[in-house]
Amino acid sequence: MTKDFLDSLVSPKTKKSYKHGLKVFEEFYRKPAQALLKEKDPGKIIEKFSVWCLKRYVQNSRRAVVNPIIQYCKYNDIEPKIRKSLRIYRTTTTTRDHILTVDEVRRMYKIGDLEDKVMVKAWLMGLRIEDACRLEWKKMDVYQILDEPKEVLVNTMKEGVAADCFIDRELQELLTKYILTLNKNHPFLFQTARLGHLSEKQLLRRLQRLQKKAMIEAHGTFGWHIARKLFLRTCAENGVNSWSASMMVGKTVPSSIATYIQGANLREEAKKVLNVLRMEPVQIANTSAAATLDLIMKVLRRIIGREMKESGMDDGTLNMILIKPDEEVLKEYLES
């Protein structure tokens, strides 16, 4: 029965984690996990197991070994009663991972080749690594480059839900070049001749090589998951609600709201995040934003200078004002 349960899991990582949890439980229970299904109150046994685990694991690890037993019961149509006071499902914040910044990602992007750049942009979609390495190029194919984000639905492995992802113009432009280099006999975006798609280890190694090349010092674990955290943190900082953020990265939305938001248009929410996670400066009429703003300020300075001359201001005072920084000139002009 445990074999059937494990075989029903799609994600290899989840299967490995649940297999470990069942093994630890059988060590505590001193019986096969299958015997738990015959217990009058399996919830009591799981509660005792949870307390036993507290002496051996930190909270997040305890959750990781107890949850497989609960899911095993549910798979066999048994709903164990667990007291909320035990906080089995509580996850504590950890500082083990490196806290990734947008500037660090931009440094990696800048020195990367075309494939590296596509990988970095895929990294910033907030997907788990098992889903990122299985992305299919046909879903990402761009027939017409648009300023609007392109919606891409990605079937996730761990939770079995669709991630409502969006790719911005920046990634669209990269894909028009990158997809031309791919072997069209393979469906995957990140390919190897032998496997069809890069393995999770291969994709992670490629990312970490780019990190070292960019000379980014990691203060903690530099894993694939840190960009998922960056994406969700950016959502929080820019007013994107939690269920929109969850849908965009393929996290399960609580069933109490899932029915009501089915088919929601997340494009406007995605724009808020994608604008922050851009790798290149925004282009305005084929000119960088900084150059365009500089041109605007030159025009404004001439207008201000003409108005000052017409008001009778002498050339010395006029020159003193116009050599000041843009911010001071605008401030004084608005206050005058």
For 110-161, the DSSP string reads HH--HHHHHHHHHHTTT--HHHHTT-BHHHH--SS--SSPEEEEEE-SSS--
Lowest-pLDDT range, 92-106, 115-129, 264-278, 314-328?
Answer: 314-328
Q: Residue 283 pLDDT > 70, yes or no?
A: no
Q: Would you state the structure tokens that stand for residue 274, as one six-digit string?
A: 């994608």
Mean pLDDT of 113-124: 96
Tell me, what's the pLDDT at 162? Answer: 87
**Kind plus residue range of the DSSP H or E element containing 294:** helix 289-310
Separation CA 172–CA 168 (nearest Å):
6
- Domain architecture of the chain: domains with CATH: 2-86 (1.10.150), 102-280 (1.10.443.10), 287-335 (no CATH)
Q: CA-based angle 142:165:152, to the nearest 5? A: 40
Separation CA 296–CA 298 (nearest Å):
5
**Residue 159 is which amino acid?**
E
Among 234, 252, 232, which residue's Cα sits nearest to residue 162?
252
The chain-wide mean pLDDT, for the chain, equals 85
Can you say whether the dihedral through the CA atoms of 333, 292, 284, 237 is positive or negative? negative
Share of the chain above pLDDT 90, in %: 49
Q: How far is CA 46 from the centre of its chain?
A: 33
Q: Residue 331 pLDDT > 80, yes or no?
A: no
Q: Would you state the structure tokens that stand for residue 291, as one six-digit string?
A: 């150059």
288 confidence band (pLDDT: 50, 70, 90): low
For 40-84, write each residue's pLDDT tens digit.
999 999 999 998 998 888 877 888 889 899 999 989 999 888 887
Residues in Cβ contact with 49 at an 8 Å cutoff, skipping those fewer than 6 apart: 25, 28, 29, 66, 69
DSSP percent split of the chain into helix, strand, coil, nearest 5: 60, 5, 35
Mean pLDDT of 144-158: 87
249 contacts 163 by C-beta, under 8 angstroms: yes
Lowest-pLDDT range, 39-53, 91-105, 307-321?
Answer: 307-321
Separation CA 98–CA 253 (nearest Å):
26
